[in-house]
Amino acid sequence: MATELADEEDIADSLIEHAAPEKDPTSPIQTLVTQNPFPLLGQEVVPGSFVALHWSPEQSFESINTPVPVLVAHGANIGPTVCLTAAIHGDELNGIEMIRRLIYQLEPDNMNGTVVGIPIVNLDGFRRGSRYLADRRDLNRHFPGSPKGSAADRIAYSLFHNIIRHCEYLVDLHTGSLKRTNLPQIRGDLGSERVFEFSRHFGGITVLHGVAGNGTLRGAAENIGIPAITLEAGGPNQLDKASVDAGVNALETMLQNLDIQPTLRFWGTPAPVFYKSHWLRADQGGILISSVELGDKVKKGDELGRVTDPVTNTGSTIIARESGRIIGMAVNQVVQTGFAVYHVGVAKEPKEVKEEALGIGDDKEQNAGLNDNDAEEQFEQE
């Protein structure tokens, strides 16, 4: 009995030792500092309020123009401003649901800072179930835009200058494309100290280094000093509950770590997992049949899938060339020679990933651990 009591005392002592410290009464999360109204889209959002504003890209006839909803939770207390964007590609649904679930649970009266959510940036593409704008342009290749350019340039310019410039942090939500799906993951230029630190705020999620491609919203934001992250989860044209759950959890954790959304007692979260990565491609055309699932851990030499010619019954096997984890993959489908099928991540220490990112110079390689074609493939997913 004495031993049992001693064990219980040891457990209690251990819990006390490892528990999160009590919040200091003078910490920002409990100190009430008068907040100013938040100016956005010609409106003044008062502190401690939630409003739905409207952004109009003005690309339709004036008489039938449909504005895009912009949801704003403006906290009662001073803090950073985080912008969340989704459905820049109109067929990517998971981010829309992430923003809805996240922003409607916020309590502006108890918030420090501001959260701006734009759940459906590409409203035209969303209505048509299309990744692209009506003129077949990819909006996420036109930022920061131009007031005198193409329709895509003008939409990008309006969004960037009327909303994004008001942000102090940006999270752009996406899914896989081209019949591919992604394990929930965040991507950022980890060679930037501010982006690297921001990437550590999302809890136990996969983190990849990637320099933003030309014309992306993430790249344009980084160019004016806004730490920006892309959060990828799931695939297009479907709502995947597991991906949405993981994304919402990551976003909630980020808001807690930035002290925007206070909690009674913050016990900490799992550390993010940093990866280098590479794509494995089909060596012949045919029908892909996978032997693995998204998120599976694989060993070097494992068979990941097979591409078979349905007429000749010949085929080729895709083999893991390193041990790692499947962080993205194509769904079973008809593929052509050279099609990127499996995105394999190899876990690395955060310091090592950061050093690799900083070591990238002006050469052609854009992503640590990726060759030219792989870097392009990752860019195409964003």
- Same domain? For 157 and 280 the reply is no
Quote the pLDDT of residue 23.
41
Q: How confident is the model over 283-294, as pLDDT tens digits?
A: 999 999 999 999
**DSSP 3-state of 267:** coil
| Same domain as 192, residue 160 | yes
- Identify whether 150 is part of a domain: yes
Q: For residues 375 and 277, what is the distance between their CA atoms, to the nearest angstrom?
A: 10
Flag whether pLDDT at 19 surpasses 80: no
Entry pTM: 0.84
Name the token pair of 310: 């349905």
Query: Is residue 34 packed enough to be buried (19+ CB in 10 Å), middle (13-18) or exposed (0-12)?
Result: exposed
Give the per-residue pLDDT at 64: 56
Same domain, 302 and 334: yes
- Domain membership flag for residue 373: no
DSSP character for 34?
Answer: B
Share of the chain above pLDDT 90, in %: 73
Residue 5 clears pLDDT 60, i.e. is over it: no
pLDDT reported for residue 96: 99
Examine the domain organization and report whether 86 and 206 are in the same domain: yes
Locus of tokens 């959060």:
231
Instruction: Clarify whether residues 97 and 161 are in a common domain.
Output: yes
**pLDDT number for residue 32:** 57
The CA distance from 229 to 273, in Å, is: 15
How many helices (H) and strands (E) in the chain?
9, 18
Q: Are residues 150 and 281 in the same domain?
A: no
Percent of the chain with pLDDT over 70: 81
Question: Cβ distance 60 to 133 under 8 Å?
Answer: no
Same domain, 83 and 175: yes
pLDDT at res. 371: 46
Domain end call among 230, 257, 284:
257
pLDDT of residue 382: 75
- pLDDT attached to residue 66: 80
Number of domains in the chain: 2
pLDDT at residue 308 is higher than 80: yes
pLDDT at 227: 98
pLDDT score of 24 more than 90: no
**Cα–Cα distance, 105 to 107 (Å, whole number):** 7
All residues at 6 or more sequence positions from 151 whose CB lies less than 8 Å from its CB, including other chains: 59, 133, 134, 135, 137
241 & 286 share domain? no
Residue with tokens 């835009």: 145
- Kindly indicate the confidence band of residue 2, based on its pLDDT and cuts at 50, 70 and 90: very low
SS3 of the chain: helix, strand, coil, percent, to 5 = 30, 30, 45
Can you give the residue range of the structural domain that contains 189? 25-257
- Residue 32 in any domain: the answer is yes
**Distance between first and last Cα of the chain:** 60
Clarify whether residues 106 and 166 are in a common domain. yes
User: Residue 351 has what pLDDT?
Assistant: 82
Q: What is the pLDDT of residues 188-245, one digit of tens each?
A: 999 999 999 999 999 999 999 999 999 999 999 999 999 999 999 999 999 999 999 9
Average pLDDT over residues 258-274: 72
* 75 within some domain: yes
- Indicate whether 331 belongs to any domain: yes
> Same domain, yes or no, for 116 and 178?
yes
> CATH no. for residue 98?
3.40.630.10
